[in-house]
Amino acid sequence: MDLKNIVDEYEMILVGVGEAFEEKMDSIKENTKLSGLALDYSRKLYFENNFSRIDEAYEKLSKILENKNYFIVTLSRDDKIYKAQLQNNRIVAPCGTHNALQCEEVCTKDIYPTEDYKEKILKGEDINCPNCGKPLVMNKIGIGKYSEEGYLSQWQLYTKWLQHTLNKKLLILELGVDMKYPSVIRWPFEKTCYINAKAKFFRINDYLYHMTEEIKERGVGVKEDPVEFLRNQIV
């Protein structure tokens, strides 16, 4: 399947990037002495400096989407997608990022650039919320409370972009999205396809590739590892 050829036939491209694109943490050798923010910071550095098959897949995606009118919703929190030559203002990451910190208790929704605290984190110092004094943690969805402030401005751009897809030739590309957060990508993407008669839906997934009854006329399920699917594209 030549994705570039397909993409070029459409005016707008909506891309969903799922769990399959998040680096598996248990495959990474980690410093067992680290915990909390220091551990998360070491992961951030790992994501930035390690070039993996997932980075290769993003580079292919960036070439396929070059000069196209696209928007990407990603469930990943590892920020790897920003390393490829994609336009950052066309990406929203509602599950968070390692590039910002938040109060553990979300006493305010405020977020703080991680890089501002780099020296302190590397020295192993505690970083406390300027408002309540509780620890600052990475601004990502996970075990504790989550401040959604970090992605809201991008989300607004995304919803505006989505409004413009109505009656347009829209290609929906869902890559490795599982059922952990179906209300972020899977269900709304299906709805977007359902209400747009000019939309086409490709669902690339190695096991959850089936299309729903309502959109099966316009949908294609491809049973394939989505990372390999992109890596194997010739662009």
Q: Which stretch binds Zn ion (CB under 5 A): 41-49, 104-112, 189-197, 219-227?
A: 104-112
Contact 129, 105 (CB under 8 A): yes
Q: Which stretch binds Zn ion (CB under 5 A): 107-115, 142-150, 188-196, 201-209?
A: 107-115
Q: How far is the CB of 108 from Zn ion (least distance, A)?
A: 6
12 strand-pairing partners: 69, 170
Q: How far is the CB of 57 from Zn ion (least distance, A)?
A: 37
To which residue do tokens 């089936």 refer?
A: 210
25 or 132: CB nearest Zn ion: 132
Tally Cβ neighbours within 10 Å of residue 2: 11
At residue 12, the 3 state secondary structure works out as: strand
132 or 179: CB nearest Zn ion: 132
Instruction: Verify binding: residue 107, Zn ion, rule CB under 5 A.
Output: yes
The Cα–Cα gap between 201 and 63 comes to 20
The Cα–Cα gap between 155 and 160 comes to 9
> Contacting Zn ion (CB under 5 A), which of 89, 131, 159, 167?
131
202 strand-pairing partners: 173, 220
Instruction: Verify binding: residue 132, Zn ion, rule CB under 5 A.
Output: yes
Q: How far is the CB of 99 from Zn ion (least distance, A)?
A: 19
Q: How many residues bind Zn ion (CB under 5 A)?
A: 6
Q: Which stretch binds Zn ion (CB under 5 A): 2-10, 95-103, 175-183, 192-200?
A: 95-103
> Contacting Zn ion (CB under 5 A), which of 92, 103, 199, 227?
103
131 or 159: CB nearest Zn ion: 131
Pairing of strands 219-223, 200-205: parallel
103 or 121: CB nearest Zn ion: 103
Q: How far is the CB of 68 from Zn ion (least distance, A)?
A: 41
Q: What is the DSSP string of 152-189?
A: HHHHHHHHHHHHTTTTS-EEEEEES--SSSTTTTHHHH
The Cα–Cα gap between 199 and 101 comes to 38
Q: What angle do CA 21, 197, 225 make, to 5 degrees?
A: 20
Subset of 111-130 contacting Zn ion (CB under 5 A):
129
Instruction: Verify binding: residue 137, Zn ion, rule CB under 5 A.
Output: no
Instruction: Verify binding: residue 135, Zn ion, rule CB under 5 A.
Output: no
- Residue 150 makes CB contacts below 8 A (sequence gap 6+) with 96, 97, 100, 102, 111, 139
The residues binding Zn ion (CB under 5 A) are: 103, 107, 129, 131-132, 134
